[in-house]
Amino acid sequence: MKIRNFLLLTFLVALFLGCAGREPTPGVTDSEILIGNIQDLSGPMKELGMALPHGSNLYFNYINGKGGIHGRKIKMVIEDHQYNPQKAVASAKKLVEQDQVFCFYQVIGTSPCEALRPTLEEYKIPLIAPATQSGTMSDRSRRGWEYIFHTDTGYDKQANILVDYAYEQNGDAKVGVIYQDDDYGANVLKGIAEAEKRHGVTVQKEAYQRGATDFAGQVMNLLKGGATHVIIGGVVREPIIVMKTAAAMSYAPQFLGISPTMDHRVVLGAGKEGEGFIAANFAQLYNSDVEGAKLYRELFENSGTDPKVMGMYNFYGFMTAMVLVEGLERAGKRLTRAGLIRAMEGIKDWDGKGVFPGISYGPSDRAGTESVVLVATRGGIQQIISDWIE
C-alpha cells in the first residue's frame, strides 16, 4: 500500500510540474551570437567535419577581432551527427533547446539536412549555407524551404553545365556519366535529364555504389558505348580509380567532374592519368588571387595550423562563414530569426570579396549561385580555364 501511495504522489507531482512549461529566448545576447553547427565528426565524412568548421572559425575570429557584428561576437557550437539523420535531428533539438542557438549553419550532408526540415519549421529557425551541393536544398516544393539558404551551385545545375560544355567543345560528342547511386547521384541525374531534353540526346549512365572501389565494369561499358566525354559524379577516390582504370584500358575520353572531385587530392592521386581532367567548382580556388582567397591564406598562415589542412574544404568553411556574417550584418542590431531571413533575402549579386560568382536570394529564391567555373589539371596543377558559366 505504501508503495502505491508513493507512486501516486510522484505521479501527481510530475503532472503538476509538467504543466508549468517555460519559454526560453534564443541565442542572442548583448555580447554574443550563438550559432549551431552539426558536422560528421566520426563517420564517413569526418574529414570535412574537421576542415569546414576550422575554416569558418578563421573568419569568425577575424571578425570578432574587429569588434564582432554590431558589437556581438560570434560563437559556434558544433554537434556530431555521424552522418545519421536521426542523430542530426536529435543534435538539432539539443542545440535549439539546450544551447539555444540563434540559427543553424553549415550542417553537413544531404540526408541530415533533409531530415532537419520539420525541426526548422517547428522552431522557425533558419539554416544558412548547408554543406552540400544537392540542388534539393533550394527546392521550393519541399517542407521548410523558406528557412534554408543554399550557397552552392546544385549538382544538377553543374551536371547540366558540363553537358553543355561537352557539346560546345565537340558537336558530335557522346556523353556518359558515372554516378554514385544515392542522393548525390540522384541530383546529378536530374541535371543530366534536363540537359538530355535540351540537346535531344541520351547520355549513357553508369552507376556505382557509394564506397565501391572497383569500376572496371562501368568503365568498360563506357568504352563500349563510345563515350567521348565522361562526367564523374564521385568524390575523391572514385575519379582517381576511374581515370586509372580507363588509362589501363587505353581509353582516354575527356573526363569532367562535379564539384567534390575538385579536391586537389584527385590531382595527386591520379597522377599522370589525371592530366587534362576538368572539374566544375562553384567558387574561386583557395589559391587564386581574389581578395577573399588572399585573406583566407593570410589568416590561415597566422593561425599556425598544420599546412596540410589548407585546401578546398577548409576554404569552403571560410567562404560560407563570409555569407553568414554578411547576412547577420544586414539583419541589423535588433537581431531576430525572421530578421535574418529577410536580410538574407535582400542579398543580390554579392561576390564575397571576389570569391563567388554573385550570390543572390529573394523572397522565393533560396539558391545562392547557379554558375560554375571550370578547373583543369594542366601539368599536374589545377588552373581555372573559364569564366563563370551559367
Rounded to a whole number of angstroms, the minimum distance from the CB of residue 205 to other proteins is 8
Rounded to a whole number of angstroms, the minimum distance from the CB of residue 384 to other proteins is 24
Rounded to a whole number of angstroms, the minimum distance from the CB of residue 115 to other proteins is 4
Query: Of 75 and 330, which has the nearer Cβ to other proteins?
Result: 75
Query: Of 85 and 346, which has the nearer Cβ to other proteins?
Result: 85
Rounded to a whole number of angstroms, the minimum distance from the CB of residue 203 to other proteins is 14
Paired strand residues for 127: 104, 148
Rounded to a whole number of angstroms, the minimum distance from the CB of residue 253 to other proteins is 16
Angle between helices 312-331 and 46-65 (to 10 degrees): 40
Query: Of 197 and 308, which has the nearer Cβ to other proteins?
Result: 308
Amino acid at residue number 233:
G
Amino acid at residue number 390:
E
Sheet containing 73-80: order of strands = 73-80, 32-39, 103-105, 127-128, 148-149
Rounded to a whole number of angstroms, the minimum distance from the CB of residue 249 to other proteins is 5
Rounded to a whole number of angstroms, the minimum distance from the CB of residue 359 to other proteins is 25
Query: Using alpha carbons only, what angle is made at residue 361 by residues 333 and 106, rounded to the nearest 5 degrees?
Result: 70
What lies within 8 Å, CB to CB, of 234 at 6+ separation is 178, 179, 180, 208, 242, 257, 258, 260, 261
Query: Of 95 and 173, which has the nearer Cβ to other proteins?
Result: 95
Query: Of 8 and 201, which has the nearer Cβ to other proteins?
Result: 8
Q: What cell does 226 get?
A: 563510345
Query: Of 44 and 65, which has the nearer Cβ to other proteins?
Result: 44
**Kind and range of the H or E run holding 34:** strand 32-39
Rounded to a whole number of angstroms, the minimum distance from the CB of residue 346 to other proteins is 29
Query: Of 71 and 217, which has the nearer Cβ to other proteins?
Result: 217
| C-alpha closest to that of 253 among 264, 242, 238, 237 | 242
Q: Where are the extended beta strands (E) located within 186-277?
A: 204-208, 229-233, 254-257
User: Distances from the Cα of 150 to the Cαs of 88, 121, 171, 246, 365, in angstroms?
Assistant: 18, 16, 33, 35, 9
Rounded to a whole number of angstroms, the minimum distance from the CB of residue 29 to other proteins is 16
Query: Using alpha carbons only, what angle is made at residue 362 by residues 357 and 364, rounded to the nearest 5 degrees?
Result: 120
Distance, in Å, from the CA atom of 347 to the CA atom of 46, rounded to the nearest integer, reads 32
**Kind and range of the H or E run holding 180:** strand 175-180
Query: Of 182 and 298, which has the nearer Cβ to other proteins?
Result: 182
Query: Of 47 and 146, which has the nearer Cβ to other proteins?
Result: 47
Rounded to a whole number of angstroms, the minimum distance from the CB of residue 11 to other proteins is 5
Amino acid at residue number 359:
I
Query: Of 117 and 294, which has the nearer Cβ to other proteins?
Result: 117
SS (H, E, C) 299-313: HHHHHCCCHHHCCHH
**Kind and range of the H or E run holding 281:** strand 278-281
